[in-house]
Amino acid sequence: MASAQAYYDHVKNINLLPEFDGYIPYVDEDANGELKEPTEEQLKQSFNIHAKNGKLGGRDLEVYLKGVKGIKVLCKIMKYLVQTGVTPQLIYSKVADITDGDEEPQLETRREASDFIRKIIAGTFAVRSYDYFRVNPPRRDDHIHFDPVELVCAVTERARTFSVLVTLNKIGLALPQQLQRVCEGKLKAVTQSAAQMEASFKSLDPSERENVREYVRAVADAQNTEQGATSSTKDSKKKKKRRKE
């Protein structure tokens, strides 16, 4: 909505690109007038300048660097939505999930939301299909694969739900330390309360819930076994020390 001059002044004065939510630095243009891709060093410099208390938009440096590509993907989608006249209210009405009530309305809502998102991505990237949780995505010109870790690093902290984080862990994708700590904290919380575990998985399709429950229980059991073994080792060492004394 800004004038060309106001936009130019903003970019030159702050060295951030507004169309990428102000998280990606402006590092000049090439001979064709296209924006240059910032190097990792330039991204780090920009982060250090604009971060507050070690974070920029709720991201520490590792999450920020991992999320830059995801930010570009999400902003490109939002630009497409604005250009096609889709309002935030319409988006919310289409993708808002029904977490209470019968399963059938929930499934129908999710089918409609998936179809809505598929059309958006197809229009934005001119593809027929997409994925973001497949470990071995198909190699086709009409298919696009999104790195799910990059997308999770790109979204706000509130959008990084436990069900998403645990799904990434479940398929073997490594998370940045900041997100791994969040995931482990939530894992500890949900395993202590059956009600909280069920609430955490409401956003998943019913067919996926039991698989994720079993995974969470298996991880929790493994952690408890490891803690028990560590505790037993410490007790054994203490007993040996007392015998020597």
Q: Which helix (H) or strand (E) holds 144?
A: strand 143-145
Task: Summarize pLDDT for 172-211 with one digit per residue, the tens.
Answer: 888 999 999 988 888 887 777 777 777 777 777 777 777 7
Cβ atoms 61, 44 nearer than 8 A = yes
Same domain for 152 and 167, yes or no, is: no
In the chain, the amino acid numbered 150 is E
Position 218 in a domain: yes
Contacts by 218-226 with C-beta closer than 8 Å and gap 24+?
219/169, 219/187, 220/187, 220/191
Is the Cα torsion angle 61, 40, 171, 133 positive or negative in sign? Answer: positive
**133 pLDDT band (50/70/90 cuts)?**
confident
Same domain for 107 and 169, yes or no, is: no
pLDDT of residue 171: 84
pLDDT of residue 26: 93
Position 55 in a domain: no
Position 28 in a domain: yes
Position 111 in a domain: yes
Cβ atoms 17, 42 nearer than 8 A = no
**Whether the predicted pLDDT of 11 surpasses 70:** yes
| CA-based nearest residue to 171, from 134, 221, 222, 224 | 134
Last residue of a domain, one of 156, 182, 201: 156
Same domain for 185 and 121, yes or no, is: no
Report the alpha-carbon distance of residue 184 to residue 188 in Å, rounded: 6
Task: Summarize pLDDT for 31-52 with one digit per residue, the tens.
Answer: 888 889 999 999 999 999 999 9
pTM exceeds cut of 0.75: yes
Same domain for 45 and 89, yes or no, is: no
Same domain for 74 and 142, yes or no, is: yes
Domain count, the chain: 3
Specify the residue for token string 């429950």: 213
Q: Where are the alpha helices (DSSP H) in 39-193?
A: 40-50, 61-83, 88-95, 103-125, 148-154, 162-170, 177-191
Same domain for 35 and 74, yes or no, is: no
- In the structure encoding, which two tokens stand for residue 33, read together? 């007038």
Same domain for 145 and 164, yes or no, is: no
Task: Summarize pLDDT for 139-179 with one digit per residue, the tens.
Answer: 898 999 999 999 999 998 888 888 888 888 888 888 999 99
Position 245 in a domain: yes
Residues whose CB falls within 8 Å of the CB of residue 22, separated by 6 or more in sequence, listed in order: 14, 16
Structural domain harbouring 233: 160-245
| CA-based nearest residue to 179, from 47, 65, 31, 11 | 65
pLDDT of residue 159: 85
**Whether the predicted pLDDT of 59 surpasses 80:** yes
Position 124 in a domain: yes
Same domain for 148 and 170, yes or no, is: no
DSSP class per residue in 180-235:
HHHHHHHHHHHHT-HHHHHHHTTTS-HHHHHHHHHHHHHHHHHHHHHHHHHHHHHH
Position 59 in a domain: no
Residues whose CB falls within 8 Å of the CB of residue 132, separated by 6 or more in sequence, listed in order: 145, 146, 147, 148, 151
Percent of the chain with pLDDT over 70: 85
Cβ atoms 4, 52 nearer than 8 A = no
